[in-house]
Amino acid sequence: MKIVDARVIVTCPGRNFVTLKIVTEDGVHGLGDATLNGRELAVASYLTDHVAPLLIGRDARRIEDIWQFLYKGAYWRRGPVTMSAIAAVDTALWDIKGKVANLPVYQLLGGASREAVRVYCHANGTDVDQAVKAVAHHLDLGYTAIRVQSGIPGLHSTYGVAKGDRPYEPAEKGGVSEHRWSTEAYLTFIPRLFERIRAEFGDEIDLLHDVHHRLTPIEAARAGRSLEPYHLFWMEDPTPAEQQDAFRLIRQHTVTPIAVGEVFNAIFDCQQLIQEQLIDYVRTTVVHAGGISHLRKIAALAELYQVRTGSHGATDLSPVCMAAALHFDLSVHNFGIQEHMPHNAETDVVFPHEYSYRDGFMHPGDAPGLGVDIDEALAAQYPYDPAYLPVNRKLDGTMHSW
Ligand code: GCO
Ligand code: MG
């Protein structure tokens, strides 16, 4: 089953997406997401200029061999650009394998380990009152696990909170915007936010929060301890994770569960975090961590140490990634939860899909393969439109993690 075509489709139905389409000699095609938010064309070029020519003539059935060929064969290993490109190939080949077998991909991964995939949503507010309204709204939509982010008094803009009425979208058009950050303002405010949310909604719902890599380990320990009365489902990315042993310090001081990994791209990024049980949830996802094949290896390692999965699912991961993530989530034993940040209506039309949401759960559907496609004619009507993630500076102007 030779590969006869591999091409990249870049489209911007409200935000940019990079999609790899692989076609076999039998006319079967598979899709893979290759979107790297704010750096999209680097992956598009990696695929078009360097990977696609190597795929032509290869046997599409040999997913693991092609993965190893691209990983070991490049000599230069890992990194978000390389691993997103490999992920796209891997995802597209699983899609093809499912279509040829006439089975949904989750059946090829061992079958369903659960009836459906529990998801968490985002409730964002410019202040605490707005956050309360957003939580109420999402409870009405059936979610039972809700990430809460709020504007911080004294700070002009905050991660996760939209300006105006439009849904929150991390990448912004028209250049790089600069946010200002105060750790002290944040650390003082954050327990008050969750005190209010618990007072309004009680103890039953699961609450999550994303720190977005902004604290030092000891500050993260303080945040985690101050949030203990509100028993979060998780505190996400409390500190940058390049230094995995930094999480030991956080663990010594707090029992608030920790989720990390949306920026990781290989098992080595979380090896120590998992083996020392320094985290509770690993947030690696299909597109940025080497595809379904590599994500399964991460999950298998995590399973040994009672670490569960909690894959990233922001809008900058395309519906192709969402579909692949749901097949993975449904099948893997140590699944924890899946992030769900719905795409806009234009995106849903460009990428017709079988997956669905109901009452706090999602399901990938039972179509052969991933159950997602791309309307190429429609995609062509939305040309690439550069957008950047913001940067963050402390109040005195020093660059800080965003
Ligand atoms: C999340 C993430 C996102 C990222 C975005 C960057 O938890 O969903 O932190 O909001 O900031 O995916 O491209
Ligand atoms: Mg995050």
The conformational region for residue 127 under phi > 0 = left, psi -120 to 50 = alpha, else beta, is beta
From 316, 317, 391, the mutation candidate for ligand 1 (largest count of ligand atoms within 8 A of CB) is: 316
Q: How confident is the model at residue 313 (pLDDT cuts 50, 70, 90)?
A: very high
State the Rg of the chain over Cα.
20
Q: Reply yes or no on whether the pLDDT at 315 is more than 80.
A: yes
Q: What is the pLDDT of residues 15-49, one digit of tens each?
A: 999 999 999 999 999 999 999 999 999 999 999 99
pLDDT of residue 167: 84
The answer, yes or no, to whether any atom of ligand 1 lies below 6 A from the CB of 329, is: no
Ligand 1 centre from 314 Cα, in Å? 6
Are the beta carbons of 142 and 168 closer than 8 angstroms? no
281 is catalytic: no
pLDDT of residue 163: 77
Let me know if 186 is a catalytic residue: no
From 212, 237, 389, mutation site for ligand 1 pocket: most ligand atoms within 8 A of C-beta = 212
Residue whose entry in the numeric block shows the structure tokens 């002290």 = 184
DSSP 185-231: HHHHHHHHHHHHHHHHH-SSSEEEEE-TT-S-HHHHHHHHHHHGGG-
Nearest CA, atom 12, ligand 1: 314
Per CATH, the number for 108-366 is 3.20.20.120
- Mean pLDDT within 275-292: 98
Q: Ligand 1: which of 312, 317, 392, 401 to mutate, judged by most atoms within 8 Å of the beta carbon? A: 312
Sorted by where each begins, the domain ranges of the chain are 3-104, 108-366
When the pLDDT of each residue in the chain is averaged and rounded to a whole number, the result is 97
- Closest atom of ligand 1 to 147 CA is 7
Please determine, for residue 164, whether its predicted confidence score (pLDDT) is greater than 80: no
Q: Which of 29, 212, 312, 340 is catalytic?
A: 212
* pLDDT value of position 158: 84
φ/ψ region of 359 (left if φ > 0, alpha if ψ in -120 to 50, else beta) reads left
Q: How far is the CA of 75 from the centre of ligand 2 (A)?
A: 30
Nearest C-alpha to atom 13 of ligand 1 is from which residue? 37
Is 316 within 8 Å of 288 (Cβ atoms)? Answer: no
Catalytic residue of the set 106, 143, 159, 230: 159
Residue-level pLDDT at 102: 98
CA atoms within 13 A on the CB side of 94: 33
Calpha distance 266→297 (Å, rounded): 10
3-104, CATH topology level: Enolase-like; domain 1 (3.30.390)
Check pLDDT > 90 for residue 147. yes
Residue of 120, 91, 56 whose CA lies nearest to 319: 91
Q: Please tell me which residue, 370 or 162, carries the higher pLDDT value.
A: 370
Residue pair 22/29 in contact by the 8 Å Cβ criterion: yes
> Which residue is it, tokens 């993690």?
401
Q: Which residues of 256-289 are buried (b: 16+ CB within 10 A; e: fewer)?
A: bbbbbbbbbbbbebbebbbeeebbbbbbbbbbbb
pTM of the predicted model as reported, rounded to 2 decimal places? 0.98
